[in-house]
Chains A and B, each alone.
With several copies, the nearest count.
Chain A
Amino acid sequence: MRSFATVKKTRQLNHDTFLLCLKSEKIASCAEAGQFVNLKCCDGLDAYLRRPISIHSVNRECNTFDIVFQVRGKGTSLLSRIRPGDEIDVIGPLGRGFTLDHSHRHIVVAGGGIGIFPLFQLLKDHTAAKKTAVLGFRSKDFVVLEDEFKKHSTELLIATDDGSYGIKGFVTDVLEKIIQKEKPDMVYFCGPEVMMKTGVKLLQKYNIPCEVSLEQRMGCGIGACLVCVCKTRKDNDWDYSRICADGPVFKGEDIIFD
């Protein structure tokens, strides 16, 4: 599960978002939508821990996969300086990805910020006739990968917080309008916690199943250290589940948002 992936291509998508295309047969051959990799951003002690980044897209013919990330701190900043030909120490694919039910005819993916990236491979893999993508960004400057998402969805709606591009408002507002027009079979969420919390509540109102992809600071990334937990329902009680191993994708109804 640990391998050294060669960087085939790097692409800067906007001021702080980068795409890396990595070659690794091990990972590309079995990665599923919604899974992630845990990678070293540099040798040595700076950015000591690995950083979890979702698998954005898989190219099984070329044995490559893409990751897309925003520069947040030390690790992602070092990662943004990596060049084609460099090698990255990667563990993956990790975690439980999205559940694809190919009997579904209409699915919606709803993503916000860095949450949109794992939804891409899901759109590529799903066979539903209708695939709606609702992507939320802070403002126009943050909109990325619009064409790519358009290509793999039947409908693409973009929302920005300030209305500087697409629809003004939240992803969940847009989602509710979609539902009111036509109830989808399934919704997939990935984004800020508040978006997913509102989203799950919304879907429960309409009785639509959904999955959410969660994030948490990680240690091992493989389920051994128990640092990356989220609250999940368990019988009449609750428990902490490991986002890295039991998730990152969970059924919406299983998560207890605080």
Chain B
Amino acid sequence: MKKNINLEVNIAGLSLKNPVIAASGTFGFGREYSKFFDLNLLGGISVKGLTLKPRKGNPPPRIAETPGGILNSVGLQNPGVHAFIENEIPFLRQYNTAIIANASGNTVEEYVEMTEILSDADIDAIELNLSCPNVKEGCMTFGSSSRGVLEVVNKVKKVARKPLIVKLTPNVTDIVEIAKAAEDAGADAVSLINTLLGMAIDVKTRRPILANITGGLSGPCVKPIALRMVYQVSQSVKIPVIGMGGISNGIDAVEFFLAGASAVMVGTAGFVNPMAWVETVEGIKEYMTENGIEDVKELTGGLIAD
């Protein structure tokens, strides 16, 4: 009676053994969580956001708990793309899971240069981060207007020799317009959402909790916003959508598939439950078994909305 369940998805040339990817910035370069579970169980890993040069990031405190979520203001602390290639790819390549390099630049030129470098590296896809709310330069500035997205993605696409995923910020009036710009400029897929710009205050000290004053909101609390954006975007673009924002388990993931996502990323939930990534894979399987669904692709866009 037990049906074969197919979890494989293919996103713009990036083939994943299952549709669950660790979200950038929440999973480092995989080393830490490899002590908790077998990384082979993941569809892919989007590594900590990379920049051309090493970056120190923002001063601490860099995290605040908020109702049903967290704010972070890490600010892209990372060893730089070269150190990543040298020190981290060999570790990650031990595992049979897709490596997605999440890349941020201060200028269009930096985005292009990183894409060139990463296209030569042994990775499976590039996720262009046009959406980090925690750095002053580049990034969000490009990602918040369709003009900015068009410009960066156009230039990057010319040199990209890996599947190109463009990661979108939710801090915009019309995410559909931005997603369309990414598509028009040649993105192979879009991923959304990055964090929502927020703030927390300690009334005892009368100071912001984060040294950076503002930070990016993630976790369960953002799920309704993320779902809505994934739904809107997937109705309007033809390229695959990778959904994220507050996913903690298989049921949450299925909601994103129904809304139109072809794959999902899980981030914050893993801080609370280090097994969240694998449990999400298991939960999707369970839902499929219970509902007689053989191929996870059948779920994508399966929302009944009339």
- Residues of A in contact with B (beta carbons under 8 Å apart): 1-2, 40, 45, 47-50, 91, 216-230, 239-240, 245
Contacts and interface: CB of A to CB of B under 8 A. Distances in A.
A229 B62 contact: yes
B57 A220 contact: no
Nearest to A229: B60
Given A227-B60, A240-B77, A49 B48 contact: no
Given A2-B275, A49-B65, A219-B271, A228 B60 contact: yes
21 contacts: A2-B274, A2-B275, A45-B68, A48-B68, A48-B69, A48-B220, A91-B274, A217-B63, A219-B63, A220-B274, A222-B33, A222-B35, A224-B33, A225-B271, A226-B57, A227-B61, A227-B74, A228-B60, A229-B60, A240-B56, A240-B57
Nearest to A230: B60
Interface string B69-88: 11010100100000000000
Contacts of A227: 60-63, 72, 74
Nearest to A223: B32
A58 to B, nearest CB: 21
Contacts of B56: 239-240
Contacts of B274: 1-2, 91, 220, 222
A62 B219 CA distance: 38
B77 A229 contact: yes
Nearest to B267: A225
A89 to B, nearest CB: 8
B61 A216 contact: yes
Give the size range of B's interface with the partner: 20 to 34
A225 B74 contact: yes
Contacts of A50: 271-272
Contacts of B219: 48
Contacts of A49: 63, 65, 70, 271-272
Q: Which of B62, B270, B275 is most buried by chain A, counting CB atoms within 10 A of its CB?
A: B62
B132 to A, nearest CB: 13
Contact of A219 (B70, B220, B275): B70
A4 to B, nearest CB: 12
A224 B266 CA distance: 14
B213 to A, nearest CB: 15
Interface stretch (B22-30, B107-115, B156-164, B256-264): B22-30
B32 A226 contact: no
B70 A48 contact: yes
Given A49-B70, A223-B28, A226-B57, 16 more contacts: A1-B36, A47-B65, A216-B60, A217-B61, A217-B62, A219-B70, A219-B72, A219-B271, A221-B271, A222-B33, A224-B26, A225-B72, A226-B28, A227-B63, A229-B62, A239-B56
Q: Which of B32, B33, B68, B70 is most buried by chain A, counting CB atoms within 10 A of its CB?
A: B32
B64 interface: yes
Nearest to B48: A226
Interface in B27-70: 27-28, 31-33, 35-36, 48, 56-57, 60-65, 67-70
A223 to B, nearest CB: 5
The 6 closest A-B pairs by CB, nearest first: A224-B28, A227-B63, A224-B32, A227-B62, A222-B32, A220-B271
A91 B32 CA distance: 13
B82 to A, nearest CB: 17
A225 B72 CA distance: 9
A210 B28 CA distance: 30
Contacts of B275: 2
